[in-house]
A and B are shown apart, each in its own frame.
Chain A
Amino acid sequence: MKTFLIILGLLLAAVSQTTVLPFLAISGIVPNLVLVLTLLLVIFRDFKKTWWLVILGGLFLDLFSGLSFGLIGLSLLTTAYFISRFNQSIFPEAKFWIVLFLIGLASLFYGLVLFGLAKLFVFINLSQQEIYLSLLSLNYLVGLLISAFYNMAFLICLYGIKKIFYPASFSK
């Protein structure tokens, strides 16, 4: 039942991201609800137990996105794995401020990976959509920062639901 609720939560998050959150955009950037929820899952429940939910979250975003299919899924997967390993290596305990930092770091990492994979997809002809943005442009870098801060702000709002995902027995 809990698994079903998590899947439903991810789907509703993906739907909300395309129907509600665009009206909360700052300079055209909205918080990535699915990214935040997926990262909460891997931080509190470990990547080995939640990898398939990461795939599902990425799949939902890919279906709604206008970018090439699989781009967001691969970016989300890579980010989730990186954050999971980083968290386990460095931090003994998942306190709120650590989670907040991880979400911010993940948002930046996700943006860079997404950009890199988008360029790769064009290079290997998996995508017909040319990417004109430059990674080093001020616009792009500032956009990444806004995205990171917005996701962190959203985490603060969502912090109350941490208890649903955080198993009572989890501790390091």
Chain B
Amino acid sequence: MKRVFSHPFILSLLIIVGLIFLNSQGWLKFSQDIFFSLTASVQKISYQFSSKVNQMTGSLISLNRLNQEKVRLAEENEELSSQLVQLKEAARENEFLRQQLSVSSPESPELILAGVIGCNSSFLEKTLLINRGSQDGVKEGAAVITAGNFLVGQVVETNNSSSKVRLILDPNSRVNALVQESGVTGLVKSNQWLNLTIDFIPQGENIKEGQTVVTSGLAGFFPVGLFIGQISQIISIDVEIFQKAKIKPAVDFENLEKVFVFK
């Protein structure tokens, strides 16, 4: 019996199982907080430096596409300016009607600004490390967005001064969503090739490329109306009950530096 327990593999196994047990009881929280406090500054510097280098090399590689990109952005800008005018008018009418009906405006949610200090990427997970934790008001399950209400993911673990965010690109992430133009609901999921798809859309529902996909708020995991992306390709096979569509994510996950966490 003693020989069995002194075998290195068995001993290692027992140690790790012991650590798993201690962690499940919350007894490793303090050690984890200290560990992250010590490594956070090194991680932040390292991540920011790598991000800058990545952006520079990306710019150099795409130099020849800059002109085309400029033309495309100018056209998009004109279209968005026109939409903005219409939206402002709609907002003004909305406010007028609220006053007439004595209905109060929905409160703006409180957001916590956080910096990205690390990223875990494998075939089984896609998570971010951010430099805000429970002492800053971050809670497990909180939605995480970027400026413009673009959905990034959800907080899955918090420490004192840092947290882990599961991205919507994570293979195990599921987001209840709807196509804004038609109101059709579906489920947004990912595979490990950094693709998002919206699935479980009934055949016969009219969806088109370029339509906007936002969170539907069903199941209560994410607030309503967070921008996920735009439909880039529709995959519809007649013999299947549901059709699906590929989504181009709104967030540039490769250049993420700052995010907002819902309080």
Contacts and interface: CB of A to CB of B under 8 A. Distances in A.
Given A19-B47, A65-B164, A70-B16, 12 more contacts: A15-B46, A18-B47, A22-B50, A23-B50, A29-B121, A29-B123, A51-B12, A65-B120, A66-B156, A67-B125, A132-B189, A143-B192
Interface in A7-36: 11, 15-23, 25, 27-30, 32
Given A15-B43, A51-B12, A147-B122, A27 B127 contact: no
A104 interface: no
A26 to B, nearest CB: 10
Contacts of B13: 74, 77
B237 interface: no
Interface residues of B, number: 53
B171 to A, nearest CB: 5
Contacts of A51: 8-9, 11-12
Contact of A20 (B11, B46, B124, B171): B46
Interface in A34-92: 47-48, 51-52, 54-55, 58-59, 63-67, 69-70, 73-74, 77, 81
Interface of A: 11, 15-23, 25, 27-30, 32, 47-48, 51-52, 54-55, 58-59, 63-67, 69-70, 73-74, 77, 81, 111, 114-115, 118, 126, 129-133, 139-140, 143-144, 147
B75 to A, nearest CB: 31
B193 A20 contact: no
Interface of A: prevailing SS: helix
A73 B24 CA distance: 15
13 contacts: A15-B118, A19-B43, A19-B46, A19-B50, A22-B50, A27-B193, A52-B12, A65-B120, A114-B124, A126-B20, A133-B123, A140-B192, A147-B123
A65 B194 contact: no
B117 interface: yes
The list of the 8 closest CB pairs from A to B, nearest first, reads A66-B127, A18-B118, A143-B123, A70-B20, A19-B46, A22-B119, A51-B8, A19-B47
Contacts of B123: 28-29, 111, 133, 140, 143-144, 147
A126 B12 CA distance: 19
A163 to B, nearest CB: 25
B166 A66 contact: yes
